Amino acid sequence: MTKVINVENIITKFGNTLIHDDLSFSIHKGEIFGILGGSGAGKSTLLRQLIMLQKFQSGNIEVLGESLRGISHKSAHKLRQKWAVLFQFGALYSSLTVLENICLPLLEYTELPKGLIENMAMTKLSMVGLSSESAYLYPSELSGGMKKRVGLARALALDPELLFLDEPTSGLDPSSAEAFDKLIVELRDMLGFSVIIVTHDLDTIKSALDRFIVLQNKKICFDGNYETAINSDLTFLKEFLKAN
């Protein structure tokens, strides 16, 4: 299996506080991979480092064969078009309508004719399960779940190879959360991208993740799938999976 992300010996410090102490893991192509951990365990920091929003002090991260340490502006720019991020609250541009939000990456990065772009955007909107009536709404007129779906449609606009999701089901009701998990799995099966999810939703962990790591005490305390985690004798892990 090809590795899409390879993390080697990452150490992160904020001032004098150590956040990550020597993390190493890798993510394979087509996998739905979870980054789990309690609040403040540094999950989001790790995600931000993977998508070049935050620096790390030592070690190396390789994404799609490109090393993030000392990456040139040009290759960083190229890399950013191959991945997409869904932020926790959708991070839709509030001055643009839903349709414009989804069209934006296509308009910026492709030379496709406008009509085709709009058709593509409408198709992606329907892929994430939203009706075409919402196309001309502004983000402030959407519910939290709809915002996330639109954010997902925008993330899918450029057919990314990697999809990063930051707590995709937080703030959704259980049935919407389940539907969202299903949607992610379905899209992955259909489009074949790899997904990296930061979450602590137990249902997502059970139903969507192929494999996950658990961060605790600045280190990775578990790396594997749900079955092995349940059967392992790490008390912390059992508590974590039960408590969530």
Partner 1 sequence: MQRIKIQYLNAVNLKVLIANDWTKESLANTNSIEKDIVNLFDKTIVFDFTDCLTLDSAGAVEILRIKNQLTKDRCSVTCVNLQEDHAKLLSFYEKNFHDKPELPPKKYISIEGIGKWIIDGFKGSGDFLSFVGEMLFALLKLIISPWNFRFTAFIKHVDTSAIQAIGIITILSFLIGLVVAYQSAGYLTKIGADIFIVDISVMSVFRELSPIITAILIAARSASSFTAEIGTMKITEEIDAMRTMGLDPFVFLVIPRVAAIIISMPFLVFVADIAGMAGAYLVSHFQLGISLNDFIDRMYLEISVNELYVGLGKSPIYGAIIGIIGCYRGFQATGSTHSIGKLTTKSVVSALFWVIICDAIIAVALTKLGI
Residue ranges that bind partner 1, judged by CB under 8 A = 94-95, 99, 106, 110-113, 115-116, 118-120, 122-127, 132-133, 135-136, 138-141, 156, 158-159, 190-191
Cα separation of 51 and 236, whole Å?
29
Q: How far is the CB of 8 from partner 1 (least distance, A)?
A: 32
Between 4 and 120, whose beta carbon lies closer to partner 1?
Answer: 120
Q: How far is the CB of 88 from partner 1 (least distance, A)?
A: 15
For the chain, report the end-to-end CA distance as a whole number of angstroms.
Answer: 31
Q: How many CB atoms lie within 10 A of CB 75?
A: 12
Q: How far is the CB of 225 from partner 1 (least distance, A)?
A: 26
Q: How far is the CB of 135 from partner 1 (least distance, A)?
A: 6
Residues 6+ apart with CB under 8 A from 1: 28, 29
Between 34 and 160, whose beta carbon lies closer to partner 1?
Answer: 160
Cα separation of 116 and 30, whole Å?
28
- Look at residues 5, 59, 8 and name the one whose alpha carbon lies nearest to residue 211: 5
Cα separation of 172 and 151, whole Å?
14
